[in-house]
Amino acid sequence: MKTSLTHHRTVARLYFWLSLGSVLLGLLLSLVMRFHLVYPATSVKLFHLLWPRQAQGGVMTPELYLSLLTLHGTVMVFFVLTLAPVNAFGNLMLPRQLGAEHMAFPRLNLLSFWVSLASFFLLLASVMTEDGGPLSGWTAYPPLSALGAITGPGEGLGQTLWFFSIAVFCIGALLSSINVIATVIDVRSPDMPLMKMPLAAWNWFLTAILSLLSFPVLLAAGLLILLDRLAGTSFFIPTGLLIADFKSTHTGGTPLLWQHLFWFFGHPEVYIAILPGMGIVSTVISAFSGRRIFGRRAMIFATMSIALLGLLVWGHHMFTSGLNPWSAITFSILTMAIGAPSAVKTFNWLATLWLARGNLRLTTPMLFALGFVSIFVTGGLSGLFLGQPNLDAYFHDTYFVVAHFHIIMGIAALFGIFAGTFYWFPLLFGKMLNETLGKVHFYLTFILAYATFLPMHFAGFAGNPRRYADFTSFEFLSPLMPLQKAITHSAFALAAVQLIFLFNLAWTLWRGAPAPENPWSLEPATASDPDNGETY
Amino acid sequence: MPSLTQSNIGGPPPIDPLLPPGGSGDGGGGSPNDGSTRAASMTAIAVVMCASVMTFGAFLSAMAIRRGLNNDWHKLPLPKILWYNTVALLLSSVLLDLARRKLRQNKRHLFNPLWTAGTVLGTLFLVGQFIAWDQLAGHGFYLAGNPSSAFFFVFTWAHAAHVVGALLAVYYVEFLGLKYELGTRGRTWVAASTLFWHFLDILWLGILALFVYWA
């Protein structure tokens, strides 16, 4: 059936392809970085071909490593974890779950996609400048990110384009939030009170509210730092800064201001990535356990609590930045408090599974949903360490943090995305992904994700610093090289396993038969199951 | 249960049966299946206002921190024209709202002159802001240099960007009004742009108070 470009499913597909392209780019970048970390002096012809200036002779410069790190983080956080869960699956399912035919503003919906795509191209342009890409990571901490080319190659035009890309992305995210919020409030069926709304819809709704409250702050901070870079203001640059032989003429600013504004966005961003995955997991667990989610009302209030607390804990990213101890304690207590609603959600998922034991159907989406629960608990537990200022003082700049956020924000959210992809693929493309390939893909991904990211905790315990391009110059890190090599090998295996998914996707789209009417053979929905009642 | 469609769960607002389609003889009712409704449009405007509040809130918190950091903060002498601009903005808001009310009371003939006058005053506000920036620059207050002038430019540029966006909507309504095409959708534009214009008043009064009393 031919549908218009503004149809919500078409927009969902566009976002799906953008996120898929982004995740593949991010994955390849991570492999290049992991290779360089453990074989820093090895000459690779491909590196020379790709980056003739920054990898002369096939050996990467530290600056190139940092620019790849920046691009990897930016692509994964913004174009995968922000776009796929809400904009791909939310667009696909929200009107359907709410008993509507459209999103509230179909044309605005398509416009938000084009704006996001423009932001993506700006980001790509930022790494294609003559001096290379920006070096300051996805958090772009000033003063280095605010001073221009003097702070390193790629910090000139590349960093400026990076900030423009993020500003444009913020606008796209806001347009998308407008649509989700207006759709839930005004286009929802009058027969559907809010508390009867599917859990996935609740999660998309609360995610849109978080986006609405956090992206404008990032936009404001981005505009201020662009003025510091381009117009000579001093919002984030302190007096008398000396870099190499260059003395900055800026006076009076403070980099801490950026950190406050950035993390006011940055921490809710974690929930923008993970909340939709929780909604998808609730839907999938409900479908394949054949019963409604245990404590459904509590799930809704727990999600609200997580969203609210998520807005109040940005300071835990700044424990090592010199916060007032009372502020640090406050942020620490609030951070720990997030454990309570998170535990409620986990308990309710497990209780649903327990009550449905014997009736569970371990389909691929269900496996990914169960994997999500496991990964979420693992990542949440390491968060308890980092939420304490005294422990964070040690862990903050180590691989412990890399492990934590890759597990809780990256892998957990990706498992939610995989669960949604397999479960709703018949609605997205009218076909059914192969289950056998899907299960093989799941088991290998689950094992290798743990094999890649769990050992990073041990590297963190041993004090292995993050953001370093090369560990070989530091004697105290040499005992950790076997561990780092094992992580790299596991990462390559994890990436290789994703070829199974890509093959499954390509084969299904190319040769797959149309999906049947009830692709998952679900029992006819009953009124007591608001999560799947109207969807399949 | 009847099937749920856009039109029966939140379609266009009911139209007065005594009026021809679009109300008051205007055409341009909009497609019933285009997804957007009056309620959704008003929600969207409310969401945009929330986003703007967060943006200006971020600027305000940045200003509060920056002001307390150093002794390089000097009070900015505000150009007199800002007061005339304020009057123009508030008056334009009153006129746009009067136009909206007259339209709702089916006094269609009063809508165009009132809306046009409001639009002209809104445009004058923007022109006045350009003059204010020029006067400040003439006295040596630029974006770079004194942090209070930097924040003044940031706040007023951001507000002006909002005004430009709102003026696009106001001019669109003006265009529809002059062509007598204020149908259902046009009336939604009237309500939404008037509400946003009032929001810009409040925002401007807040910015002005900030620089008069504190910055």
Alpha-carbon distance A2 to nearest alpha carbon in chain B (angstroms): 17
Q: Does B31 touch chain A (CB under 8 A)?
A: no
Cross-chain residue pair A104–B154, CB shorter than 8 Å: no
Cα A311 to the center of its chain, rounded Å:
17
Residue A265 has pLDDT above 70, yes or no: yes
- Structure tokens given for A162: 């990076």
Q: How many CB atoms lie within 10 A of CB A227?
A: 21
Digit-coded pLDDT (tens) for B100-134: 999 999 999 999 999 999 999 999 999 999 999 99
Q: Does B169 touch chain A (CB under 8 A)?
A: no
Domain that holds residue A346: 8-511
Alpha-carbon distance B50 to nearest alpha carbon in chain A (angstroms): 7
Q: Is residue A482 part of a domain?
A: yes
Cross-chain residue pair A182–B43, CB shorter than 8 Å: yes
Q: How many CB atoms lie within 10 A of CB A340?
A: 12
Alpha-carbon distance A113 to nearest alpha carbon in chain B (angstroms): 17
Q: Which of A104, A100, A106, A103 is nearest to A191 (CA)?
A: A100
A109-124 mean pLDDT: 98
Cross-chain residue pair A186–B37, CB shorter than 8 Å: yes
pLDDT of residue A3: 66
Q: Name, in order, each residue with C-beta under 8 angstroms of A55's C-beta and a sequence gap of 6 or more.
A: A44, A47, A48, A61, A64
Q: Which of B215, B202, B192 is nearest to B86 (CA)?
A: B202
Round to the nearest angstrom and report the end-to-end CA distance of chain A.
19
- Structure tokens given for A432: 């059914």
Q: How many CB atoms lie within 10 A of CB A165?
A: 23
Of A102, A105, A235, the CB nearest to B6: A102
From CA B43, how far away is CA B20, in angstroms rounded? 27
Largest CA distance in chain A: 73
Digit-coded pLDDT (tens) for A217-239: 999 999 999 999 999 999 999 99
Query: Cα dihedral sign for B153, B158, B162, B168?
Result: positive
Alpha-carbon distance B117 to nearest alpha carbon in chain A (angstroms): 30
B83-91 mean pLDDT: 98
3-state secondary structure A35-89: HHHHCCCCCCHHHHHHCCCCCHHHCCCHHHHHHHHHHHHHHHHHHHHHHHHHHHH
What burial class does residue A39 get, using C-beta atoms within 10 Å of its C-beta: 0-12 exposed, 13-18 middle, 19+ buried? middle
- Structure tokens given for A473: 């110059």
Cross-chain residue pair A235–B44, CB shorter than 8 Å: no
Q: Is residue A141 part of a domain?
A: yes
Of A178, A233, A261, the CB nearest to B48: A178
Cross-chain residue pair B36–A257, CB shorter than 8 Å: no
Digit-coded pLDDT (tens) for B52-79: 999 999 999 999 999 988 888 888 999 9
Cross-chain residue pair A235–B66, CB shorter than 8 Å: yes
- Helix or strand run (H / E) with residue A259: helix A255-289
Q: Is residue A89 part of a domain?
A: yes
Digit-coded pLDDT (tens) for B135-159: 999 999 999 988 999 999 999 999 9
Q: Which of A396, A368, A367 is nearest to A382 (CA)?
A: A396
- The phi, psi pair for A313, rounded to 5°, reads -120, 20
- Bridge partners, residue A398, by sequence: A465
Q: Is residue B19 part of a domain?
A: yes
Q: Name, in order, each residue with C-beta under 8 angstroms of A326's C-beta and a sequence gap of 6 or more.
A: none
Taking CB atoms and an 8 Å cutoff, what residues of chain A touch B45? none
At residue A511, what is the residue type?
Answer: R
Alpha-carbon distance B93 to nearest alpha carbon in chain A (angstroms): 25
Digit-coded pLDDT (tens) for A129-149: 998 999 999 999 999 999 999
The residue of A4, A8, A102, A262 whose CB has the most chain B CBs within 10 angstroms, and thus the best one to mutate to test that interface, is A102
Cross-chain residue pair B62–A239, CB shorter than 8 Å: no
Number of compact structural domains in chain A: 1
Digit-coded pLDDT (tens) for A194-220: 999 999 999 999 999 999 999 999 999
Q: Is residue B1 part of a domain?
A: no
Cross-chain residue pair A212–B47, CB shorter than 8 Å: yes
* Whether A144 contacts A46, CB under 8 Å: no
Q: Does A217 touch chain B (CB under 8 A)?
A: yes
A242-263 mean pLDDT: 92
Cross-chain residue pair A232–B143, CB shorter than 8 Å: yes
Cross-chain residue pair B143–A231, CB shorter than 8 Å: yes
What burial class does residue B14 get, using C-beta atoms within 10 Å of its C-beta: 0-12 exposed, 13-18 middle, 19+ buried? exposed
From CA A253, how far away is CA A256, in angstroms rounded? 9
Report CA-CA distances (Å) from B68 to A141, A224, B71, B73, B77.
21, 18, 8, 9, 20
Q: Is residue A468 part of a domain?
A: yes
Taking CB atoms and an 8 Å cutoff, what residues of chain A touch B6? 100-102, 187
Cross-chain residue pair A104–B48, CB shorter than 8 Å: no
Tell me A524's DSSP state: P
* Whether B177 contacts B115, CB under 8 Å: yes
* Whether A531 contacts A283, CB under 8 Å: yes
* Whether A320 contacts A392, CB under 8 Å: yes
Taking CB atoms and an 8 Å cutoff, what residues of chain B touch A191? 1, 4
* Whether A34 contacts A488, CB under 8 Å: yes
From CA B117, how far away is CA A169, in angstroms rounded? 37
pLDDT of residue A168: 98
Q: Does A190 touch chain B (CB under 8 A)?
A: yes
Cis (ω within 30 of 0) for the bond into B147?
no
A318-340 mean pLDDT: 95
Report CA-CA distances (Å) from A67 to A35, A221, A379, B40.
15, 21, 27, 42
Q: In chain A, pLDDT over 90 holds for what percent of residues?
A: 90
Q: In chain A, pLDDT over 70 holds for what percent of residues?
A: 97
Q: How confident is the model at residue A532 (pLDDT cuts 50, 70, 90)?
A: low
Cross-chain residue pair B147–A234, CB shorter than 8 Å: yes
Q: Does A260 touch chain B (CB under 8 A)?
A: yes
The residue of A187, A206, A318 whose CB has the most chain B CBs within 10 angstroms, and thus the best one to mutate to test that interface, is A187
A478-488 mean pLDDT: 97
Digit-coded pLDDT (tens) for A56-75: 999 999 999 999 999 999 99
Domain that holds residue B147: 6-214
- Helix or strand run (H / E) with residue A247: strand A246-247
What burial class does residue A347 get, using C-beta atoms within 10 Å of its C-beta: 0-12 exposed, 13-18 middle, 19+ buried? middle
pLDDT of residue A448: 98
From CA A441, how far away is CA A250, in angstroms rounded? 53
Alpha-carbon distance A315 to nearest alpha carbon in chain B (angstroms): 15
Can you give the CATH number for the domain in which A212 is found?
Answer: 1.20.210.10
pLDDT of residue A101: 87
Number of compact structural domains in chain B: 1
Taking CB atoms and an 8 Å cutoff, what residues of chain B touch A262? none
Q: To the nearest whole number, what is the mean pLDDT of chain A?
A: 94
Q: Which of A116, A118, A113, A120 is nearest to A7 (CA)?
A: A113
**Contact residues, A window 118-147, toward B, CB-based 8 Å cutoff:** none
Cα A124 to the center of its chain, rounded Å:
18
Q: Does B18 touch chain A (CB under 8 A)?
A: no
| CA-derived radius of gyration, chain A | 23
Taking CB atoms and an 8 Å cutoff, what residues of chain A touch B61? 260-261
Report CA-CA distances (Å) from A154 to A29, A67, A165.
17, 8, 15
Return the residue of B nearest to A220 by Cα.
B55
Taking CB atoms and an 8 Å cutoff, what residues of chain A touch B35? 101-106, 187
Q: What is the dihedral of CA A372, A376, A378, A379, to 10 degrees?
A: 130
pLDDT of residue B26: 57
DSSP assignment string, chain B: -PPP-HHHHH-SPPPPTTSPTTSTT------TTSS--HHHHHHHHHHHHHHHHHHHHHHHHHHHHHHHH-S--------THHHHHHHHHHHHHHHHHHHHHHHHTT-HHHHHHHHHHHHHHHHHHHHHHHHHHHHHHHTT--SSSSHHHHHHHHHHHHHHHHHHHHHHHHHHHHHHHHTT---HHHHHHHHHHHHHHHHHHHHHHHHHHIIIII-
pLDDT of residue B37: 83
Taking CB atoms and an 8 Å cutoff, what residues of chain A touch B64? none
Report CA-CA distances (Å) from B140 to A230, B85, B128, B134.
19, 21, 19, 10
Report CA-CA distances (Å) from A41 to A56, A469, B174.
12, 11, 67
Digit-coded pLDDT (tens) for A408-450: 999 999 999 999 999 999 999 999 999 999 999 999 999 999 9
Of A106, A214, A221, the CB nearest to B35: A106
From CA A309, how far away is CA A325, in angstroms rounded? 20
Task: Write down how long chain B is.
Answer: 215
- Helix or strand run (H / E) with residue A243: strand A242-243
Q: Supply the angle between the helices A89-97 and A199-230 in degrees, to the nearest 10.
A: 140
Q: How confident is the model at residue A2 (pLDDT cuts 50, 70, 90)?
A: low
Q: Does A105 touch chain B (CB under 8 A)?
A: yes
pLDDT of residue A437: 98
Can you give the CATH number for the domain in which B170 is found?
Answer: 1.20.120.80
Report CA-CA distances (Å) from A364 to A164, A189, A412.
40, 31, 15
Buried b (16+ CB within 10 A) or exposed e, A287-320: bbbebbbbbbeebbebbebbbebbbbbbbbbbbe
Alpha-carbon distance B113 to nearest alpha carbon in chain A (angstroms): 31
Q: How confident is the model at residue A531 (pLDDT cuts 50, 70, 90)?
A: low
Q: Does B32 touch chain A (CB under 8 A)?
A: no
- Structure tokens given for A157: 């035009």
The residue of A101, A196, A213, A526 whose CB has the most chain B CBs within 10 angstroms, and thus the best one to mutate to test that interface, is A101
